[in-house]
Amino acid sequence: MISRSMKETPLHAHILLIEDERDMREGLALNLRAEGFEVDTAADGEQGLEKLRDSTPDLLVLDLMLPKVDGHEVLARIREEHLRVPVIVLSARGGSTDKVACLEAGADDYVTKPFGLDELTARIRAVLRRVAASDAHEAGAVHHFPDLVVDFRRFTVARGGQEYQLSRFESEILRMLVDRRGTVVTRKDLLTEVWGYTHLPNTRTVDNHIARLRKKIEANPDRPQHVVTVHGIGYRFESEPLEEPA
C-alpha cells in the first residue's frame, strides 16, 4: 500500500540516469530498480536532455564525463531552461574544485566513483527527502494533534501554551515519524534518511536527538505519549492528527 506519506518521501521516485559507460549504466539501473525506484536511462548528455524535457523525473543522476554534451553542460542547460529537477553528480574525479563547481552549477549532491550502491541510494533518498520537505515547506505543513501543534515551516511545536523551537535534525526526525505514524521507524532508517549516511559511529546519535525532541513534544518525557520506543528497533509516532494538513 502506498500511503500519502510515501508520496511525500517518494521511495518509488522516477530517476533518470545519464551515464555513457554501458556496464555502469545497466548495473546501476538494475540495482536502483531493485531498490524500488523507477529508472530511465540515457547514454549521453544530448539524449539525457531530451528525456529531461519530455518526462519529469523526480531526480537526475548525472555522470560528468559524457560524449556530445557533458555533465557540466547538462547542468548549465538545466539552469538555463529552468528544468526543475534535483541532480546528483557522479564523477571519477575527486577534486574539490570540480565538486564546488558542480554544486555552484546547481547540483544537489556529488558522489565520487568508485562508490557503493548503499552510498548512492542513501544520497538519492536524502535529496528526495530534502526536496519533499521544501515542497511541503512551500505548501505549508502544519499538523494538529490533540495536545500538540507541529509547524514544519517554522520548525516549531506548540504544547501546553508554550512554543518550542526544533533544531533542523529534530524537525526532520519528527517529520519522518509523523509521516509514518503508526509504523515503526528504525534507527537505521533515521540515520540514512535524516543524516544521509549509511554508517555513523553509533546509533546513540539518534537516541540523543529523540531525547531532546521528547523534552519539547512530550508532557512527560519519561512516559512519552507521542514518540514511543520500540525496544531494540526504533521509534513509532502514535498520535492521530485532528485534521489533515493543508
Does position 151 bind Ca ion by CB under 5 A? no
Residue 67 or 140: the one with the smaller Cβ distance to Ca ion is 67
Distance in Å from the first CA to the final CA of the chain: 22
Residue in 5, 65, 85, 158 binding Ca ion, rule: CB under 5 A: 65
Q: Which listed range, 12-20, 78-86, 183-191, 238-246, lies at the site for Ca ion (CB under 5 A)?
A: 12-20
* Angle at 135 (CA atoms; ends 132, 141), nearest 5 degrees: 95
Q: Helices in the chain by DSSP H: which ranges?
A: 4-8, 22-34, 45-54, 71-80, 96-104, 117-139, 168-179, 187-190, 204-217
Cα 98 to the chain's mean position, in Å?
23
| Three cell numbers written together for 172 | 526532520
The 221-240 contact track toward Ca ion, x by CB under 5 A, reads --------------------
Residue 18 or 52: the one with the smaller Cβ distance to Ca ion is 18
Provide the β-strand partners of residue 164.
157
Residue 20 beta carbon to Ca ion: minimum distance, rounded to whole angstroms? 5
Residue 65 or 117: the one with the smaller Cβ distance to Ca ion is 65
Residue 7 beta carbon to Ca ion: minimum distance, rounded to whole angstroms? 33
Q: Give the 3-state secondary structure of residue 218.
A: coil
Q: Which listed range, 18-26, 43-51, 100-108, 200-208, lies at the site for Ca ion (CB under 5 A)?
A: 18-26
Residue 8 beta carbon to Ca ion: minimum distance, rounded to whole angstroms? 33
Residue 15 beta carbon to Ca ion: minimum distance, rounded to whole angstroms? 17
Residue 92 beta carbon to Ca ion: minimum distance, rounded to whole angstroms? 7
Whether cis (ω within 30° of 0) applies to the bond prior to 67 is no
Residue in 8, 58, 63, 179 binding Ca ion, rule: CB under 5 A: 63
User: How far is it, in rounded angstroms, from Cα 25 to Cα 183?
Assistant: 35
Residue in 20, 172, 193, 218 binding Ca ion, rule: CB under 5 A: 20
Query: 3-state SS of the chain: helix, strand, coil percent to 5?
Result: 45, 20, 35
Contact residues for Ca ion, defined by CB under 5 A = 20, 63, 65
